[in-house]
Structure formats: structure tokens, C-alpha cells
Amino acid sequence: MISLVGHPLRLTQKDVPLRGWAIESRVYSEDPYRNFGLPSTGRLTKYQEPLHIPKVCCDSGVEERSKISIYYDPMICYCYCYRCVVTVEWRKGSEISIYYDPMICKLVCYGNTRKEAINTSIKALDSYVIRGVAHNIPLLRDILTEPNFVEGNLTTDYLNQVYPEGFKGRQLGEKETLNLAAVAATLCATMDLRSRNFLNSSSNKIKAQPLDTWSFVVAFLDQEVLCQVKKLETKFKTQNFQGSRPEGPEPHWSANTITRWLLNSLLHRVKEDVSKVVKSPMPGMVKSVNCKHGDDIAEGQEVCVIEAMKMQNCLTASITGKVKAVYVKPGNTVMEDDVLIEFE
């Protein structure tokens, strides 16, 4: 405003010296496994920021149990360097919609060197807990350790060069697979002890002393892993495997997600044949439908446009054929994977 009315700025370039490094990571409510980030909507069932990390600051936009939907700006948090301050701008029940940008957070981490800034960013991303919506932290986390990024060899075509087949997520090695199986076994054993029913008696709850550590061995893939579970003063636990803690976010385990993590990491997925249907790649609104029942369609022909998060997404036919059915019309709101058009 000062500059707008013709007054000189109070600061000059010499008043703004360069000191250290800062790296910004933009966390979005997007699925990185779908074309590097198609928008995701839903309700935040868990939201936790990296407030405990030095030289990281969070300026939040939403809070736990807020709804990320198709109507409002999805910005959850800005994170700046040097100190931690949280300013909540949205309240419970706030919604994020298909009409606005899907940004959750700007995470800016500071370090005296670029390597230090990268390491702080990694630690901060690992410490986030965001549940209820998909987010792009796995992609951001992978980029921070990718050799070209670490060395500073960056171009505008970086993603296509590094991930020519798209982002597939981190591939678990044998040691990581073993650790994951050990985590599952640890949790199953803990829950079994807590809820085991004894003959002719009611359910018995096993109590552990605060700060108590107990150890056992898990056998998997013809190998053995020494596991230790340490109960903290909070409701969370920490796990150690073979004397070290696995790389990744602080462990906040809940029973309803164990199966999902195991299935995502350990099982081979069979790809569904969707050549004869056009599905919505994201929640959004139907902008236009460019075909009708009985039309002949060529492979690659545009058949529908979905509008979401300030973007129009043109959907095309994957085969040459005839339209069997059209299930939507302009103005309809659709969810991810809804079938829009079917071919014979």
C-alpha cells in the first residue's frame, strides 16, 4: 500500500542480507499416486503439525475433524522458519471444495546450510499426521532424498524425468518389509494381551507400568527381528527394531489402519480393466458432456469435462467404440471413481 501511493519502501536490498537456506514444501490435499496429484476431499479425522521441531513454524488454516470438501479453499497450514507459531483460521466443520486450490500447507524450513534445511524439512514432513484425506507428503518426502534434488540438478521437467512412469511410492526393501511385519505383530500381540478372554472369566486388561520397556522377537521371511515397545507418559508408544528406530514419521498407531498399511505395502494389486468406462478421476462438477447414447467414439476423443479445484479436466475415451450409456449431465456433482460414461 505504501508503494501504491508513491511512497518509497522503508527497506532496501542492503537491509535484507542473505543468511542460511530455506526450503518450502507445499502440502496439498492431493493423491500423488494419481497423475502426481489429483485433488482429494473428505474430513480430517486426525491433524497434527510438527510444532516440536526447531526452525519450523506452522500457520494453520484448519483443525482436526474439519471437512475438506468441494466448496472452499483447502489451505490448512503455512509453515515458516525460525520459530513455531500456530494461528488457526478455520474452525471445525470448515470445508474445502472443488472450486478452490487444494493446498493444505506451506512448510518452510530453515538451516544454516542447504543440507541442514533439507534434513529439517524431512523431519518436519515425517512428523505430520494427516488422516481422512489423501495428501502429497509421500511425494515431497521422496523428492527431498532424490539424488538430483539433493545435488541441485533441477529443471522444469523434473517430475517427468525422475518419475517417467508416475510416482509409485517408496518401494520397501527386505529390511523395511521385515520391520513393517514386526510392527504389525507387535500391535497384534499388544491388543491380544489387552482383550484376551480367559475361560470362565470376563475380559482382562493387562496394565503396563509407565516408561516400562518390554522386548520380544518376531520371525518373518526366515529372519528374526528384536522388537522393543516402550510405553510413554502419553497414549502413544515407541518401537525399536534391531536397536534402531525405522526412518519415517513418529509412530501413532491405531488398529483400523494396520490392515490398510499392510495391504498397501505387502500385497500385489491386480489392475482393474476400465477400458470400457470413463470414471471421474476426482471429486468435482460435470462441466460438459460431449457424447450421447449411440455415438461412435474414437480412442482419445474428449467425452467429458470435470471441473475441480480451479481446474478443468478433459476426460477422453481409452478405446474406439460406441457409447452404451451416459450417467451424468452438466452441473452434476460427482465423486472420485464414479462411472460417468460406459462403452459397448
Distance CA 110, CA 80 (A): 8
What percent of the chain lies above the pLDDT cut of 90?
31
Distance CA 281, CA 335 (A): 8
Q: 304 versus 281: which is more confidently predicted?
A: 304
pTM of the model: 0.65
Distance CA 200, CA 183 (A): 32
Local structure of 179: helix, strand or coil: helix
Q: What is the mean pLDDT of residues 169-183?
A: 76
Q: Which three cell numbers stand for residue 120?
A: 529439517
- pLDDT on residue 92: 39
The chain-wide mean pLDDT, for the chain, equals: 74
Locus of grid cell 490448512 = 76
Does CATH number 3.20.20.70 belong to domain 13-162?
A: no
Parallel/antiparallel/unpaired status of strands 333-334 and 42-43: unpaired
Distance CA 220, CA 115 (A): 36
| Domain edges within the chain | 13-162, 174-266, 277-343
Is residue 180 very low, low, confident or very high in pLDDT (cuts 50, 70, 90)?
confident
Q: What is the mean pLDDT of residues 192-199?
A: 57
Locus of grid cell 500385497 = 267
Kindly tell me if the per-residue pLDDT of 76 is higher than 50: no
Distance CA 182, CA 172 (A): 14
Q: Which three cell numbers stand for residue 82?
A: 525460525
- pLDDT on residue 227: 65
Q: 278 versus 169: which is more confidently predicted?
A: 278
3-state helix, strand, coil in the chain (%, to 5): 20, 30, 50
Kindly tell me if the per-residue pLDDT of 179 is higher than 50: yes
Kindly tell me if the per-residue pLDDT of 18 is higher than 80: yes
CA separation (Å) from 295 to 68, 315, 320, 342? 37, 16, 11, 11
Local structure of 203: helix, strand or coil: strand
Is residue 214 very low, low, confident or very high in pLDDT (cuts 50, 70, 90)?
low
Distance CA 340, CA 199 (A): 55
Does CATH number 3.30.565.10 belong to domain 277-343?
A: no
Is residue 152 very low, low, confident or very high in pLDDT (cuts 50, 70, 90)?
very high
DSSP type of residue 137: H
Is residue 52 very low, low, confident or very high in pLDDT (cuts 50, 70, 90)?
confident
Q: Comparing 13-162 with 277-343, is the CATH topology the same?
A: no
Quote the Cα angle for 172-36-169, to 5°: 5
Local structure of 159: helix, strand or coil: helix
Let me know if 297 is exposed, middle or buried by CB neighbors in 10 A (0-12, 13-18, 19+). Answer: buried
- pLDDT on residue 267: 52
- pLDDT on residue 130: 85
Q: What is the mean pLDDT of residues 27-31?
A: 86
Q: Which three cell numbers stand for residue 166?
A: 508416475
**Identity (one letter) of the amino acid at 225?**
V
Q: 118 versus 104: which is more confidently predicted?
A: 118
Kindly tell me if the per-residue pLDDT of 230 is higher than 90: no
Q: 99 versus 146: which is more confidently predicted?
A: 146
